[in-house]
Chains A and B, each alone.
Chain A
Amino acid sequence: MIKRFLRWMPSFWALLFLAVPVMGVATFVLADHYNIWLPRDVSEHGRTIDQLFFFILYLTGIVFIVTEVVLFYFAWKYDAKHNSKPVEFSHGSHSLEVVWTILPAVTLLFIAIYQMDAWAAAKMRPPEIPFTCEVTGRQFNWDFRYPGPDNVLYTPDDIVRTDGNLYLPYGEEVLLKITSADVLHSFFLPNLRLKQDVIPGMDQKMWFRATDGGSFDIVCAELCGWGHYKMKGRIHLLKPEQFAAKLEELRQEQNTMRVAEAK
Chain B
Amino acid sequence: MSTVPYDHHHEAAGHAAHGHGHAPSFLKTYVFSLDHKIIGLQFLFSTLIWFVVGGMLALGVRWQLAWPWSPMPILGNLVGHAEGGQIPPETYTMLVTMHATVMIFFVIIPVLAGAFGNFLIPLMIGADDMAFPTLNMLSYWFMWPAFIVIGASFFVEGGAAQSGWTSYPPLSALFTAAPGSGTGQTLWLIGVTFVGVSSMMGSVNYMTTIIQMRAPGMTMFRLPMTIWGMFITATLQAFALPVLTAAGFMQVTDRLLGTGFFLSDGATANNALAQAGGGQPLLWQHLFWFYSHPAVYIMILPAMGMVSDILSCFSRKPLFGYKPMVYSIGGIAGLGFIVWGHHMFVSGMNPALGLTFMVSTMMIALPSAIKTFNWLGTMWGGKIQFTTPMLFSIAFVSMFIIGGLSGIFMAATPVDIFIHDTYYIVAHFHYVLFTGTAMAVLGAIYFWFPKMFGRMMNDQWGKIHFLLTFILMNCVFFPMHILGMRGFPRRLADPYHYDTFRDLMPLNQFMSWCAFLLVGVQIIFVINFFWSIFFGPRAGRNPWHANGLEWQAPSPPGHGNFDFQPVIYRGPYEYGSPEVDVDYYPQTQPPTGREVPAAKH
Please give the residue numbers on chain A whose beta carbons come within 8 Å of chain B beta carbons, in ascending order.
11, 13, 16-17, 20, 23-24, 27-28, 31, 35-39, 45, 48-49, 52-53, 56-57, 60, 63-64, 67-68, 70-71, 74-75, 78-80, 83, 85-94, 96-97, 100-101, 104-105, 108-109, 111-112, 115-116, 118-120, 122-124, 139, 181-184, 186, 188, 190, 193-202, 204, 217, 219-230, 232
Contact = CB atoms under 8 A, between A and B. Distances in A.
B320 A90 contact: yes
A52 B412 contact: yes
7 contacts: A56-B412, A89-B599, A101-B324, A116-B358, A122-B414, A123-B417, A193-B417
Contacts of B576: 86-89
Given A56-B409, A120-B351, 20 more contacts: A17-B398, A27-B482, A52-B415, A78-B383, A80-B384, A83-B383, A104-B365, A109-B359, A115-B414, A116-B355, A116-B358, A119-B358, A139-B269, A139-B270, A221-B420, A225-B171, A225-B177, A226-B178, A228-B93, A230-B497
Given A24-B402, A201-B267, A224-B171, A90 B381 contact: yes
Interface centre among B163, B386, B600 (most CB of A within 10 A): B386
Contacts of B90: 225-226
Contacts of A221: 420-422, 489
Contacts of A229: 89, 492-495, 497
Interface of B: 88-90, 93, 162-164, 168, 170-171, 174, 177-179, 264-270, 277, 280-282, 315-324, 346-348, 351-352, 354-355, 358-359, 362-363, 365-366, 369-370, 372-374, 376-377, 379-386, 391, 394-395, 397-398, 401-402, 405-406, 408-409, 411-415, 417-418, 420-422, 467, 470, 474, 478-479, 481-483, 485-487, 489, 491-495, 497-500, 503-504, 507, 573, 575-578, 583, 599-601
B362 A111 contact: yes
Contact of B405 (A49, A60, A124, A228): A60
Contacts of B411: 112
B470 A16 contact: yes
B140 to A, nearest CB: 33
A11 to B, nearest CB: 7
Contacts of A91: 318-322, 573, 599-601
Contacts of B485: 31, 36-38
A226 B478 contact: no
A184 B391 contact: no
Contacts of B401: 63-64, 67-68, 71
B460 to A, nearest CB: 13
List the 3 shortest-distance A-B pairs measured between CB atoms, nearest first. Answer: A201-B264, A88-B381, A92-B321
B385 A100 contact: no
B366 A74 contact: no
Interface centre among A79, A122, A199 (most CB of B within 10 A): A199
A117 to B, nearest CB: 9
A108 B408 contact: yes
Contacts of A124: 351-352
A87 B89 CA distance: 58
Nearest to A76: B384
Contacts of B575: 87
A165 to B, nearest CB: 15
B219 to A, nearest CB: 16
B398 A71 contact: yes
B321 A97 contact: yes
A97 B370 contact: yes
Contacts of B281: 184, 199-201
Contacts of A227: 89
Contacts of B414: 45, 48-49, 52, 115, 118-119, 122
A31 B354 contact: no
B83 to A, nearest CB: 13
A57 B405 CA distance: 9
Interface centre among B177, B376, B413, B422 (most CB of A within 10 A): B413
B494 A87 contact: no
A201 B362 contact: no
B383 A90 contact: no
A20 B474 contact: yes
B384 A56 contact: no
Given A71-B376, A87-B317, A201-B264, A27 B93 contact: no
A120 B348 CA distance: 14
Contacts of A20: 398, 402, 474
A63 B421 contact: no
Given A78-B383, A111-B408, A89 B600 contact: yes
B251 to A, nearest CB: 14
A229 B496 CA distance: 9
A88 B317 contact: yes
A182 B394 contact: no
A183 B366 contact: no
A85 B89 CA distance: 61
B101 to A, nearest CB: 14
A96 B377 contact: yes
A48 B414 CA distance: 9
A223 B384 contact: no
A31 B412 contact: no
A87 B601 CA distance: 14
Contacts of B162: 225-226
A232 B264 CA distance: 25
A221 B162 CA distance: 16
Interface centre among A48, A118, A196, A222 (most CB of B within 10 A): A222
Contact of B482 (A31, A74, A202): A31
B169 to A, nearest CB: 8
A199 B320 contact: no
B366 A56 contact: no
Contacts of A71: 376, 379, 394, 397-398, 401
Given A67-B401, A87-B381, A108-B362, A56 B376 contact: no
A28 B348 CA distance: 32
A90 B470 contact: no
A93 B373 CA distance: 11
B487 A219 contact: yes
A36 B502 CA distance: 11
